């Protein structure tokens, strides 16, 4: 995978002149020779094709290894090439719970600190092959990180952000819950919703503050103090008001929800995706299928939290370790039922820091085919984002978001966790298994 990059000297010169390193491609065309291409469109992989990239977008995909006058050739003829991965459930500035005390972190870190953490984790995600991601719960720092990435100031995936999840008083998203009632912090009320009217106002406020989508927490959670994951906490009326307002503003809605009855209420209210869905039954999945609602199983977060609850319960929020031990194995156990039911499944990890490709390994180990797992992180994830015309497949007109690995992920899924090449918007961020100048 030797490639030349004639634009580096020009960009280095721009950096010397103090100009922003605009990581977007110049007018130079690129031609990628792909040994095997899983394009996110065709059912079967294609062999020996050329991907022509012009101005950061895919101009054509042609059979054989072609050249174009003046175009730089990127040789991936010995590799498997796939669309850039999309993680539909991240918290970009969240540290791994297995090595961070969540209470101490909250007491000692500001949103500004979290912005720098998020910038680091975004860079690491891009190096793992994730060229897009959906952040479903963060503060203003997530909007700032998204804008910095979009402007080419820092490397990272394209981000769709929700800001704070909408949640009722005493719900999973209420930071006052279960702690000293004298504690308070600016922003702790940003997601509070106790009526349909509140829901409409919060959705509009989030839109004004830069949100791209809305996250709801209609049921209790596991990692939070003082609430119960078995309870539905938002009314269907509140959910419906949030969904209608969000959809009217062109925003999708994700719902963190566990109990079957609450999932069904969220689906009837029109949410676009159910996150986690731990206590779903065959009937729940059938209703989701009928409504076209996506499931985002987030096996990764449960794997990590379960191990932390077992080995280092002192790191978790007060009173949550037993909830983790009781509930974390369920999504894995439920995945085969979800697959059999025919519900749409999109890839999501629910982490910031850490290895996002773990989700591939967990989905495949729990019954999903490697081809379907790749599809869940490319074509299907793009559809959930409402961005299929831009990302999620390698075909003319799409962003040149392209990942490659040595080996065949359909035979050896472990290679999905060792990507060698990452291009986003026509710029190469990783090559020969190492970050390029743009990826650092």
Residue 64: other Cβ atoms inside 10 A: 9
In angstroms, give the least distance from the CB of 138 to Zn ion.
10
The DSSP letter of residue 435 is E
Task: With CA atoms as reference, report the closest residue to 103 among 169, 179, 171.
Answer: 179
In angstroms, give the least distance from the CB of 125 to Zn ion.
15
Closer of 238 and 350 to Zn ion (Cβ): 350
Near Zn ion by CB under 5 A, which window of 141-149, 241-249, 344-352, 375-383? 344-352
3-state secondary structure of 438: helix
Residues 46-85 within binding reach of Zn ion (CB under 5 A): none
Which segments within 68-117 are labelled E, that is strand? 72-83, 85-90
Residues 114-173 within binding reach of Zn ion (CB under 5 A): none
Residue 113, C-beta contacts closer than 8 angstroms, at least 6 positions apart: none
Catalytic site positions: 215, 350
Closer of 350 and 380 to Zn ion (Cβ): 350
CA distance 106 to 188: 12
Closer of 223 and 422 to Zn ion (Cβ): 223
In angstroms, give the least distance from the CB of 214 to Zn ion.
14
Residues 5-44 within binding reach of Zn ion (CB under 5 A): none
Residue 94, C-beta contacts closer than 8 angstroms, at least 6 positions apart: 117, 121, 138, 351, 352, 353
Binding residues for Zn ion, total number by CB under 5 A? 1
Near Zn ion by CB under 5 A, which window of 125-133, 163-171, 346-354, 405-413? 346-354
| Torsion angle of the four alpha carbons 82, 86, 87, 88, in this order, in degrees rounded to the nearest 10 | -140
**Closest residue (Cβ) to Zn ion?**
350
Question: In the chain, how many H helices and how many E strands?
Answer: 14, 15
In angstroms, give the least distance from the CB of 197 to Zn ion.
26
Closer of 317 and 400 to Zn ion (Cβ): 317
Measured in whole angstroms, the distance separating CA 371 from the mean position of its chain's CA atoms is 19
- Measured CA distances, 229 to 170, 222, 315, 320, 327 (Å): 12, 6, 20, 11, 9
Closer of 350 and 401 to Zn ion (Cβ): 350
In angstroms, give the least distance from the CB of 93 to Zn ion.
12
Residue 309: other Cβ atoms inside 10 A: 23
Residue 170, C-beta contacts closer than 8 angstroms, at least 6 positions apart: 177, 226, 227, 233
The DSSP letter of residue 414 is G
Site string for Zn ion, 347-366 (x = CB under 5 A): ---x----------------
Residues 85-96: b if buried by 16+ CB within 10 A, e if exposed: bbbbbbbbbbbe
- Cβ atoms of 141 and 115 closer than 8 Å: yes
Near Zn ion by CB under 5 A, which window of 76-84, 192-200, 342-350, 394-402? 342-350
In angstroms, give the least distance from the CB of 312 to Zn ion.
20
In angstroms, give the least distance from the CB of 301 to Zn ion.
7
Closer of 56 and 191 to Zn ion (Cβ): 191
Closer of 324 and 350 to Zn ion (Cβ): 350
Closer of 89 and 398 to Zn ion (Cβ): 89
Site string for Zn ion, 371-410 (x = CB under 5 A): ----------------------------------------
Binding status of residue 87 toward Zn ion by CB under 5 A:
no
Near Zn ion by CB under 5 A, which window of 32-40, 93-101, 329-337, 343-351? 343-351
3-state secondary structure of 391: coil
- Cβ atoms of 136 and 91 closer than 8 Å: yes
Which segments within 280-426 are labelled E, that is strand? 294-296, 402-405, 421-424
In angstroms, give the least distance from the CB of 167 to Zn ion.
12
Contact positions toward Zn ion, by CB under 5 A? 350
């Amino acid at each position: 995978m030797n490639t030349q990059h004639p634009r580096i000297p020009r960009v280095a010169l721009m950096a010397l002149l103090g100009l922003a390193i605009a990581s977007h491609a110049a007018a130079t065309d690129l031609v990628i020779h792909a040994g095997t291409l899983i394009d996110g469109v065709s059912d079967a992989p294609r062999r020996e094709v050329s991907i022509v990239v012009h101005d950061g977008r895919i101009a054509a995909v042609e059979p054989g290894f072609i050249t174009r006058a003046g175009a730089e050739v990127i040789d991936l003829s010995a590799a498997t090439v796939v669309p850039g991965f999309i993680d539909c459930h991240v918290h970009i500035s969240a540290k791994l719970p297995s090595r961070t005390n969540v209470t101490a972190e909250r007491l000692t870190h500001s949103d500004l600190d979290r912005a720098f953490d998020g910038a680091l984790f975004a860079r690491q995600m891009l190096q793992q092959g994730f060229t897009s991601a959906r952040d479903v719960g963060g503060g203003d720092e997530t909007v700032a990180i998204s804008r910095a990435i979009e402007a080419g100031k820092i490397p990272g995936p394209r981000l769709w952000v929700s800001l704070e999840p909408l949640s009722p008083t005493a719900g999973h998203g209420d930071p006052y819950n279960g702690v000293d009632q004298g504690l308070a912090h600016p922003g702790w009320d940003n997601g509070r919703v106790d009526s349909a009217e509140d829901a409409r106002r919060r959705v509009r406020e989030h839109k004004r503050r830069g949100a791209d989508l809305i996250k709801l927490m209609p049921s209790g959670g596991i990692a939070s103090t003082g609430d119960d994951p078995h309870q539905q906490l938002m009314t269907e009326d509140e959910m419906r008001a949030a969904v209608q307002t969000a959809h009217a503003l062109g925003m999708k809605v994700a719902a963190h929800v566990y109990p079957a009855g609450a999932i069904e209420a969220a689906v009837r209210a029109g949410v676009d995706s159910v996150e986690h869905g731990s206590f779903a039954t065959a009937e729940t999945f059938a209703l989701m299928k009928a409504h076209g609602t996506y499931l985002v199983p987030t096996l990764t977060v449960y794997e990590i939290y379960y191990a932390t609850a077992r080995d280092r319960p002192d790191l978790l929020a007060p009173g949550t370790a037993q909830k983790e031990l009781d509930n974390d194995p369920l999504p894995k156990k439920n995945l085969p039922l979800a697959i059999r039911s025919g519900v749409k499944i999109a890839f999501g990890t629910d982490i910031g820091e850490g290895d996002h490709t773990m989700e591939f390994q967990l989905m495949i180990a729990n019954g999903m085919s490697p081809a379907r797992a790749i599809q869940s992180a490319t074509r299907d994830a793009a559809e959930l984002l409402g961005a299929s015309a831009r990302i999620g497949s390698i075909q003319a007109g799409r962003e040149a978001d392209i990942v490659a690995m040595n080996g065949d992920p359909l035979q050896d899924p472990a290679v999905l966790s060792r990507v060698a090449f990452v291009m986003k918007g026509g710029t190469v961020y990783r090559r020969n298994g190492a970050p390029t100048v743009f990826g650092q």
